[in-house]
Amino acid sequence: MSSEVPDSKRQNIISAATQLFLEYGSTHVSMDKIALAAPVSKATLYNHFDNKNALLAAVIAQFCESLLFTMNQAVTAADTVENNLYKIATAFVRFIFREDAVALYRLVIAESHTSPELGQRVYDSSAQAVLTCLEAHLSQLPSCVIEPAFAADAFFSLLKGDWHFQCLLGIKSLPNETEKQQLVEKAVAFYLQGLTLCR
């Protein structure tokens, strides 16, 4: 029981912080407000997180844990390369085009300008973790994938493309389910052409 309580409080803190960050941004959210919303004492809050940047990094990390879990569950050795890539791409596209994910992306970019250490912590727990996951999968494919790290980056870059950047800028709407599926199908087909040519 004693091990469950701290975990529960930590999750309450992250959940409360997520809602506050999304609603007000990081600048206008204090640790006091987060403690009140959790609700936990300030001592408990600081026992789990040294500062607001550490808490924001934890919020992003938790977001990405769900994506990593889905990616790892989707890939099976018995399935084809195409199907595995399709499942990874589907999970990734659904994640990056979520309204809350886009909002947090904007928030981190704004905050990391004055706090580079936050940017590094977020990158390590999100983008780098996702890239490493795909890189590990690509390393198991035929020897034509001579640079799995570059290949992983190229795959996700195809999926993000210009559309995601325009969404970040607020000049284009988030894609609907049909548009997401079309994006995944085109990107995977194009990517597989490259793998075929190098064999």
10-residue mean pLDDT profile of the chain (199 residues): values are 60 95 89 95 94 89 87 82 92 94 90 84 88 87 74 94 96 97 96 70
Q: What is the DSSP letter of 146?
A: -
| Architecture (CATH level 2) of domain 1-49 | Orthogonal Bundle (1.10)
pTM of the model: 0.85
Ranges of CATH 1.10.357.10 domains, the chain: 53-197
In degrees rounded to 5, what are phi and psi of residue 115?
-140, 75
User: What is the fold of 53-197?
Assistant: Tetracycline Repressor; domain 2 (1.10.357)
Ranges of CATH 1.10.10.60 domains, the chain: 1-49
CA gap 133, 166 in Å, rounded: 26
Q: According to the model, what pLDDT value does residue 4 have?
A: 40
Determine contact, residues 156/92, Cβ cutoff 8 Å: yes
Determine contact, residues 95/157, Cβ cutoff 8 Å: no
Q: What is the DSSP letter of 27?
A: T
Q: According to the model, what pLDDT value does residue 111 have?
A: 83
The DSSP result for 31-91, as a single string, is HHHHHHHTT--HHHHHHH-SSHHHHHHHHHHHHHHHHHHHHHHH--TTS-HHHHHHHHHHH
